[in-house]
Amino acid sequence: MALVDTAAPRAARPQIITGKIRPEPKGWTSWITTTDHKKIGILYLWTVAVFFVLGGVEALLIRLQLGAPENTLLSPERYNELFTMHGTTMVFLVVVPVWAGLANYLLPLMIGARDVAFPRLNAWSYWMFLFGGIALYASFFWTPPEAGWFSYVPLSTKEYSPSGGQDAWIFMAHLTGLSSMLGAVNFIATIHNMRAPGMGWGRLPLFVWTILIYSYLIVLAISSLAATVTMLLTDRHFGTNFFDPTQGGSALLWQHLFWFFGHPEVYIFVLPAFGVFSEVLPVFARKPIFGYKAIAAATAGIAFLGLLVWAHHMFATPSATVVLAFFMLSSFVIAVPTGVKIFNWIATLWRGTIEFRVALLYAVGGIGTFLIGGITGIFLAVFPVDWQLTDTYFVVAHMHYVAFGGSAFAMFSALYFWFPKITGRLLSERMGKVAFWLTLVGFHTTFLVQHSAGLSGMPRRIFEYQASAGWHVYNLISTIGAFIIALGVLITIINVVRSLKHGAIAGPDPWKANTMEWFTPSPPPEHNFDAIPRVRSVEPMKDYRRQIEELSGSEQRFEAGKPMAHV
Amino acid sequence: MDPTRLQKLLTRAVPAACVALLVTAVPASAGILFPEAGGGSPGAEDIRTLYAIIFVLGFIVFVGVEGVLIWCLVKYRAKRGRVAAQIHGNTKLEIGWTVGAAVILVFLTIATFVMLPGIKNPAASDIDINGNPIASNAAFASTDQRKPPEGQALNIQVNGKQYVWQFTYPGDEGVFSYTRMYVPVGMTVTLDIESDDVQHSWWIPELGGKMDALPGYTNKTWFKVTEPGTYSGQCAELCGRNHANMYAEVVALPFEEWRQWYDDEAQEIADAKEYAAQERERLEQAEGEDATQGTSGASNTNSNPAE
């Protein structure tokens, strides 16, 4: 095979020498007209980064308002607008599209394809996402929505929320929903049809497995959201009465349809995060993933069960006990495959040689944090206990442990892990470690005490509280923690901006990783691979390294404790 | 100490210590680690007990899993010369932890269903509607999920409105109150929770769980206060801009005092009604006089001509 250039003096790396077929397009027009999955991926990731900062600033304003009792920093109207924008931004414009962006970039590289199945559809998907975000934020300077990210009726109906902000929210849900669906269909087609020769289902990287399942979940769940927001739109403007009880509609219907989307949404944003953990841990433990099949099966199991647990968001609504019991049990059952994943990750670390790079720290910090969110989830699944805990800060804490601990930590882990592939440069490990510890400590400072605030009776979404309620200490700690997180994120941003120009050159495979994206140069050329290599195991790069070793006689394997990246 | 004696001592002391810890630590740390309770309402107490069971199990899982995770990170950190074991998995282990996780959840399921009737079904009242003690609660054990024995409960209509709670008491007197609900100590109180506008959620943490008030539906819950006092809470579901200030208080009075309050309210309402009737009569008379004097238009005040 002529895949490997063995003649060059530093040929001791598995690398395809790619000939430039035609010059790559440059300039800003190349970005807005691109159908290259890598450029679209980068567009996605930058857009997500901007929304993440916006959502973060909103969170800081919320925390500032709650930092002291009877605070007058924000009016109730502004406060409701801010938590609505924060929730909507983080769910619809950050934690879901971030995986669309990352998968866009990585998926074809990981399965040995030259692009996704439908490149133009892919570009459409990105632009719909951007316009969805703009539709929402366009309302920000006039009348933002203020009925919460879940927009419960009747509060979100014309009668109680007459402003156009609510309509902006609906259009955001339509546009980002369309974007997610187009992306999902694209990923499904790509994964089913465009895998490299030899890559059977048992050799699919676990991140790709999670993206496949994520895509199926999007198709099933977002259709429910699309229908329900359309019903809200027609109720608001075209005289229908789907949700008006005085006209034979039902206010409870909204909650069922919304959470039929809303709970799978949790798995939509957390399964790819699990995929990141499953890719990062084996690389830095220098050990194969423990229980590949169990993790892949658990992913599918979680997704299936994730479609059957939606009413656990509705335990306090007027519902029959048998319904509550069903949703309690289905929520219990989903804890089993989730637990299996956590045990497998720990078993992957067990007897490995663990390299404490920033990507690994975020992965491990994410798993440890997510575990707490999983355990508090069991409390909330028991519906009589949920009657005490629901709609309090206990739930706020729980869902941030899941969403931040699962998804956001995985986001940062992925950033440190794949930044060298995307940009060709390494992020600073030293700054990364500082940022990691600030984020971790800040996170637990912010959210651990929120459990206690909830247990002592503090409901969600209140813009003020009396000093006599006894919640001010919890809230002050929480506010301080939020600013520690902000500092951590700020350092991460500085690190990214600085490393784009000044980071150490990464080379094609700085971590000696396992999956095929590391076979290409960093950044990869427009067509990814000159020749698609054959896949012979779930860790193809290990095979290629062994092959090069045999051909060239040079040591390719990684030795524990040595610096990993060629700097 | 000889080992069998030590073992014996431990087998007795450890469970005893656990029970003692639960009994003393749970109420002491209410609001920090455990939910509120303390009004003596059986539902709230049972929820807290169930919570404590989950807490103990969850804490063991937490310490175990985080402990192994951190231990692995420390023990297997990369060192020069160390080689990672190339293990791909272990089917027995996979089955083991799957079953292990499932067993914990089966246990929790059983615990929940054992505790559930006590939380969900209204307890029998200690006093009847006239304040007389009821001799035996056992006689009223009911299989009905919702209604305690007839006549032995105070049924109050709870109506959520932006941004106030309205309580309507049973009886022809039509007694009602806003924000403060007055109840007799020892009597089971059942609530029919409704809403006039948007969704609200009824919640007094010390007396039990919350129940949503959703327009078009009647939601039900109950409590029984055994300690006189004032128990406060607030609306728990986002209901608009002033959601933060939609408070509720349950004032539990000894039966005689409650009866006094109720009679005073009833009297006040009767007086107000009488006053209103007198006013109406006076106005109607005045109108009648106007009409006889030939002033037109007065007949429109009582009926809409468009109808």
ipTM of model: 0.90
Low-confidence ranges of chain A (pLDDT < 50): 1-9, 11, 566-567
Residues of chain A with Cβ-Cβ distance to B81 below 8 Å are 560-561
Angle at A55 between CA B240 and CA A132, to 5 degrees: 85
Query: What integer pLDDT is reported at residue A562 of this predicted model?
Result: 66
Contact A124, A182 (CB under 8 A): yes
Query: What integer pLDDT is reported at residue A8 of this predicted model?
Result: 45
Q: Which residue has the higher pLDDT, B27 or A499?
A: A499
Contact A503, A427 (CB under 8 A): yes
Of B69, B94, B238, the CB nearest to A291: B94
Query: What integer pLDDT is reported at residue A549 of this predicted model?
Result: 86
Q: Which residue has the higher pLDDT, B9 or A394?
A: A394
What average pLDDT is seen over chain B?
84
Residues of chain B with Cβ-Cβ distance to A251 below 8 Å are 199, 214-217
Q: What is the pLDDT of residues B239-287, one digit of tens each?
A: 999 999 999 999 999 999 999 999 999 999 999 999 999 999 999 888 7
Query: What integer pLDDT is reported at residue A16 of this predicted model?
Result: 57
Residues of chain A with Cβ-Cβ distance to B47 below 8 Å are 384-385, 387-388
- Residue A250: how many other CB atoms lie within 10 Å: 18
CB spacing of B215 vs A292 below 8 angstroms: no
Tell me, yes or no, if B143 comes closer than 8 A to chain A by beta carbon. no
Residues of chain A with Cβ-Cβ distance to B244 below 8 Å are 76, 462-465
CB spacing of B216 vs A384 below 8 angstroms: no
Q: What is the pLDDT of residues A323-333, one digit of tens each?
A: 999 999 999 99
Confidence of residue B1 (pLDDT cuts 50, 70, 90): low
Q: What is the pLDDT of residues B47-74, one digit of tens each?
A: 999 999 999 999 999 999 999 999 999 9
Query: What integer pLDDT is reported at residue B297 of this predicted model?
Result: 45
Angle at A84 between CA A42 and CA A472, to 5 degrees: 115
Contact A473, A412 (CB under 8 A): no
Task: Report the predicted TM-score, pTM, of the whole model to 2 decimal places.
Answer: 0.90
Query: What integer pLDDT is reported at residue A102 of this predicted model?
Result: 97
A:B CB pairs within 8 Å: 268
- Virtual torsion, Cα B84, B85, B89, B92, nearest 10 deg: -130
What residues are paired with B180 via a beta bridge?
B249
Query: What integer pLDDT is reported at residue B246 of this predicted model?
Result: 96
Of B94, B97, B210, the CB nearest to A390: B210
Residues of chain B with Cβ-Cβ distance to A252 below 8 Å are 214, 216-217
Query: What integer pLDDT is reported at residue A313 of this predicted model?
Result: 96
- Of A186-190, B86-90, B94-98, B134-138, give the lowest mean pLDDT range: B134-138
Confidence of residue B288 (pLDDT cuts 50, 70, 90): confident
Query: What is B155-210 written as a DSSP string?
Result: EEEEEEETTEEEEE-SSTT--EEESEEEEETT-EEEEEEEESSS-EEE--GGG---
d(CA A136, CA A164) in angstroms, rounded, equals 10
User: A10-15 — which CB contacts under 8 Å span 24+ positions?
Assistant: A11/A552, A11/A554, A12/A548, A12/A552, A12/A554, A12/A555, A12/A556, A13/A507, A13/A508, A13/A509, A13/A548, A14/A508, A14/A509, A14/A519, A14/A541, A14/A544, A14/A545, A14/A547, A14/A548, A14/A556, A15/A508, A15/A519, A15/A521
CB spacing of A316 vs B210 below 8 angstroms: yes
Query: Is a pLDDT exceeding 80 seen at residue B141?
Result: no
Inter-CA distances, A324 with A26, A251, A253, B45, B278, Å: 57, 18, 16, 20, 53
Grouping H, G, I as helix, E, B as strand and the rest as coil, residue B30 is strand
Query: What integer pLDDT is reported at residue B139 of this predicted model?
Result: 38
Of A245, A286, A316, the CB nearest to B84: A286
What residues are paired with A68 via a beta bridge?
none
Which residues of A are catalytically annotated?
A: 86, 115, 149, 179-180, 263, 265, 267, 278, 312-313, 338, 341, 460
Query: What integer pLDDT is reported at residue B137 of this predicted model?
Result: 45
d(CA B293, CA A389) in angstroms, rounded, equals 68
- Mean pLDDT over B297-303 rounds to 44
d(CA A33, CA A29) in angstroms, rounded, equals 6
CB spacing of A346 vs B65 below 8 angstroms: yes
